[in-house]
Amino acid sequence: MAMKGAVQYEKRTAANGACVAVLTMDSAPVNALSAGVRTGFETRIAEALADAEVKAIVITGAHGCFCAGADISEFASGMSGPPLPVVINTIEASTKPVVAAIDGVALGGGCEVALGCHYRVASTRSQAGLPEVNLGLLPGAGGTQRLPRLIGAAASIDFMCRGAPLKADQAAKVGLFDTVVAGDKAAVLKAAVDFAAEKVGSDIGPRRLSGGTAKAAGVDFAKKRKEYDTLRKGEVAPQAIITCIEASTDREFTEGMKVEGKEFGKLMFGDQSKALQYMFFAERQCAKVPGLEAKPGPLDMCGIVGAGLMGGGIAMCAAEAGMRVVLLDVDPGNLDRGMAVIKKNYARSVDRKSKTQSQVDKIMSLISPSTTYDSLGQCDIVVEAVFENMDLKKKIFQSFDGVCKPGCILATNTSRLNIDTIASATKRPEDVIGCHFFSPANVMKLLENVRGPRSSPRTIATAMAFGQKLKKVTCLVGNCDGFIANRVMGVSGWTGLINGGLLPHQIDQAAESYGMKMGPARMNDLVGLDLFGRERANTGNAKPDTIVTDAMFAANRYGQKNGKGFYKYDDKLRLSRDPEAEALIHSVWKNAGATPKTMSDEEIIDTLYLPVVNEGFKCLEEGMASRPSDIDVCCVFGYNWPRYTGGPMQWASAVGLPKILEKLEAMGEKPSELLKECVKNNWRLNSKAFTARISSAWSGTWSKL
């Protein structure tokens, strides 16, 4: 079978007349270092070295980037062809100067290829990064040994453990790029060819980064380990990276490479890396709706109704995506407040230097406040973002009917109301869809597009394109109560634990040891115990699973907002256990006949999260999600489910479905029929039979796309 990718070869004449071989990585769409590219390098380097006319070599990439690193899709299917570390050693050992011409991204193995070159010439728009840590890996082709020899150990630790790319000017500042060139790809390539030609005859020995050892320059490795144990809590890759970088400072290159190879191998075959590779593809796959062929409509102008927290956040996202935005609120006071919040958010961005004032001015120029519906007349999509009241929403959608142009997408940001009921308020139900953003909309990445049974294929395609345009991780989900993220996370076993004898800190400690950024008690304190407590007190519909939270509300313990909830908070919102809260909880248990208990972390995690897995299977069974990975994406991006577990469904796969079923039954939970079917037929979640089973459920609940 023909190998994917290649390295193109041509010869150019530099300004000083020297002949330079140009090797171009060519593997659409991002020049991932597939077997064909790695084999191509071996052949083309040998060709260039054997050609007496060639005096120097330039390496570059096609398809608008340098290289996005190793081909992640090869990891699972097995690697053929020469290993990347060997290829890079061959590049570095070249007796003719080798210069990287970088335009676009040079990431992971791509950055390591550039480090194997003797010099690096980059365009002003290029970026260099070693993001392997985000895949639960480390730079496994010499990056942990060469980079510290170039920029020092301390800078290397932060660069690799944060996994964020450097822009061209930053990369030049630390010495990763030798020179940065303005202009297009052709200009960068010409500059690199001339640069290489000027190096002919120079001593390239010192330019080979595999020489000597890295400058440790007073790095406290133990302190760095602690720093990243907090910053990337529970992740194993950062610790392995620090081990490799430490090795680069106290042993020569080949010995350091042995450490890198050993640590890389441990990570590659560990659960975290498998889960993170799975999530890398899952967050891209969710944007693809199986069977959807309709083309999206235009998306130049967006109207948002409701200038509250959600409406303002959505307006920011749309304007940052370059759309003209009408932010409508019939109440001028709400509108002024909403615009003031947006301005304050951007002022903070300028203070933090995450945006320049001119960027903010451009964004703000796209947002037009309005108090009248006729301002929506030219919008391509309108998003209703008022509070959760069905009658009000239906009235707004009736107004849309009167003013919005034909083909305008009529979206609601409701977090749980029935999309089809809202659609029934219009004469154009085919144009109606849910666009459920997560709060705050200008921060949270998840967008659940909720399809009503009558939403047309064009409406779906346009809503999916809208999510992409706003750089959201966008999933198409079913019109069920809570949609996906809120539905599955809403059945976590939190209430059983807090009402059944476990104190807040016991539950949170276990959840945070599993990798949740914030345990459920802290999360409730953040969201506010009064949010639903007040409603239940007013309507008198307290339920057995809300007795503790309702007692908190009754005792004026609302959480962070008034300094006391499950915990107490100082003026910097630092929390501590609160004996008063715990006494109150004990008294509620006593009245309810519950007694204090202790459980192992594993038991608490199972009680919290196995019901989430079970609900995920029910969503698939009912055709409310098209694939298990969409459920994982919704939990990771909507609820900060720890990414390195891959999400609830991937976690269940790793544990093993028979074990999950057994635990659910032991807990007294009613397992979903689909889960039982999987265990009976020994289906894995990526098996063809399982995929066929759930896609018939998914397509069965929709009118044809």
Residues that bind ligand T1G (CB under 6 A): 29-30, 32, 68-73, 84, 105, 107-109, 112, 131-132, 135, 137, 139-141, 143, 284
Instruction: Tell me the torsion sign for CA atoms 106, 241, 471, 647.
Output: positive
Structure tokens at 67: 């290289």
* Exposure class string for 408-436: b at 16+ Cβ within 10 A, else e: bbbbbbbbebbbbebbebbebbbbbbbbb
Taking only Cα atoms into account, the Rg of the chain, rounded to an integer number of angstroms, comes to: 28
Written as one letter, the residue type at 74 is E
Look up 132 and say whether it is catalytic. Answer: yes
671: preceding bond cis by omega (within 30 degrees): no
3-state class of 482 per DSSP? Answer: coil
Please report how close the Cβ of residue 64 comes to ligand T1G at its closest, in angstroms: 9
Task: Find residue 57's DSSP bridge partners.
Answer: 21, 98
CA dihedral 269, 275, 281, 282 (to 10 degrees): 160
**Beta sheet of 119-123, edge-to-edge order:** 6-13, 19-26, 54-61, 98-102, 119-123, 179-181
Separation of alpha carbons 345 and 335, rounded Å: 15
Written as one letter, the residue type at 617 is F
From 92, 112, 235, 384, active-site residue: 112
Separation of alpha carbons 141 and 265, rounded Å: 12
* Exposure class string for 130-140: b at 16+ Cβ within 10 A, else e: bbbbbbbbbbb
The phi and psi torsions of 493 (rounded to 5 degrees) equal -80, 20
> Hey, how many other C-beta atoms are within 10 angstroms of the C-beta on 90?
16
Please report how close the Cβ of residue 166 comes to ligand T1G at its closest, in angstroms: 14
> Are residues 69 and 32 in contact, defined by beta-carbon separation less than 8 angstroms?
yes
- 204-207's contacts with Cβ under 8 Å and 24+ in sequence apart are 204/95, 204/97, 204/118, 207/97, 207/118, 207/119
3-state class of 345 per DSSP? Answer: helix
Burial class for 377, CB neighbours closer than 10 Å (0-12, 13-18, 19+):
middle
3-state class of 102 per DSSP? Answer: strand
> Hey, how many other C-beta atoms are within 10 angstroms of the C-beta on 460?
21
SS (H, E, C) 663-685: HHHHHCCCCCHHHHHHHHHCCCC
Nearest CA among 265, 142, 166, 162 for reference residue 214: 142
Look up 112 and say whether it is catalytic. Answer: yes
Separation of alpha carbons 692 and 700, rounded Å: 12
HSE, CB side, 13 Å, CA atoms: give it for residue 413: 28
The set of catalytic residues is: 112, 132
